Structure 1
Amino acid sequence: MHHHKNIILIGMPGAGKSTVGVILAKSLGMRFIDTDILIQERTGRMLQAILDEDGPDAFGRIEEETVLSLHAEHAVIATGGSVVCSEAAMAHLKAGGMVVYLEISYDEMERRLKNITTRGIVLLPGQSLRGMYDERVPLYERYADLTVASSGEGLESVVGNVLEVV
């Protein structure tokens, strides 16, 4: 592992990017950055408030700007599930490290997203959770350098699987 490089976690809402990311950063002695938290710090608002008040397009622009302004080294970066909708953001992240896709099934995602209305999940107008899932899977697969199956796995197990491949 080139430790000046970053490890970028991508995947569906509920895939465990933030939780796995914290443990991974501790295990590897790296910084931890959560782009959703950066967006909240930058805007002074919760993700859901941005989505409710400004809509998904505006949220996407803020997310892209936030990611493009990030110049991290030696960090584990947990991204929002919608970051793959921005080619510019993904090119920027990929240039700085290895992209790991935490893959979960649709059923697993649905189970984990009990609090969907307050989670700040980017759904397009009229888009169902299933529609969002089906639209994003090919994007995650396109950008991933590595894929780690995370359905039905405990956190420690997922972290172990990521550690094996990075």
Structure 2
Amino acid sequence: MKENIVLIGMPGVGKSTVGVILAKLMGYQFIDADLVIQDRENKLLKEIIAEKGIDGFIQVENDINKSLNPKKAIISTGGSVVYGREAMEHLSEIATVVYLELDLANLKKRLGNLKNRGVVLRDGQTLDDLFNERVPLYEKYADVVVNESNINVEETVQFTLEKIKEYKGEK
């Protein structure tokens, strides 16, 4: 039985926030994959992107995520994790993958400066382009989808717990 939970979704959907609360409620450890990347590379995400380029960053992200092997953990991933096939195959094997889904209009309201967040945007690419490119990947890898439109963090956590139980066939 997969005893980890992986949160995927666009930047700004609350993967880290929801992840910390889920970990507390479930008695799991919390792992922020972006922080693991920064720790292992000894650089901020935006510095890794500036130094290695987007493709180089995606390779680093893929390598680090495919090496994660915790027990009873909530893993919050970076929004670009879905570009790493090996990482996603590994995470799908060790965890229930939860896609925190948010529509583009609400996402734009939540996000500030994308570059400061270390968001992987190619030259000339807009948030709309990124959204349209990633959503099919999130949907492909998701075991469970939690739509966050018009709900707050507490409701997102509650729905996530319910959907995970449903997915695992628990009452």
Q: TM-score, normalised by structure 1?
A: 0.95
| Contact 2:7–2:98 under 8 Å retained in 1 | yes
Partner of 1:52: 50
Runs of 4+ in 1 over 4 A off after TM superposition: none
Partner of 1:93: 91
Instruction: Count residues with an aligned counterpart.
Output: 164
What is the DSSP-based 3-state SS (H/G/I as helix, E as strand, rest coil) of the residue aligned with 1:55?
Answer: helix
Partner of 2:111: 113
Q: Please list every run of 5 or more consecutive structure 1 residues that lacks an aligned counterpart in the other structure.
A: none
Partner residue of 2:37 out of 14, 36, 39 = 39
| Contact 2:66–2:88 under 8 Å retained in 1 | no
Partner of 2:100: 102
Partner of 1:154: 152
Cα deviation, residue 119, structure 1: 0.1
| Contact 2:4–2:72 under 8 Å retained in 1 | yes
Q: TM-score, normalised by structure 2?
A: 0.93
Cα separation, 2, equivalents of 1:151 and 1:33: 25
| Root mean square deviation of aligned Cα | 1.1
Partner of 1:72: 70
What is the DSSP-based 3-state SS (H/G/I as helix, E as strand, rest coil) of the residue aligned with 1:98?
Answer: strand
Cα separation, 1, equivalents of 2:31 and 2:146: 20
Q: Please list every run of 5 or more consecutive structure 2 residues that lacks an aligned counterpart in the other structure.
A: 165-171
Cα separation, 2, equivalents of 1:17 and 1:31: 14
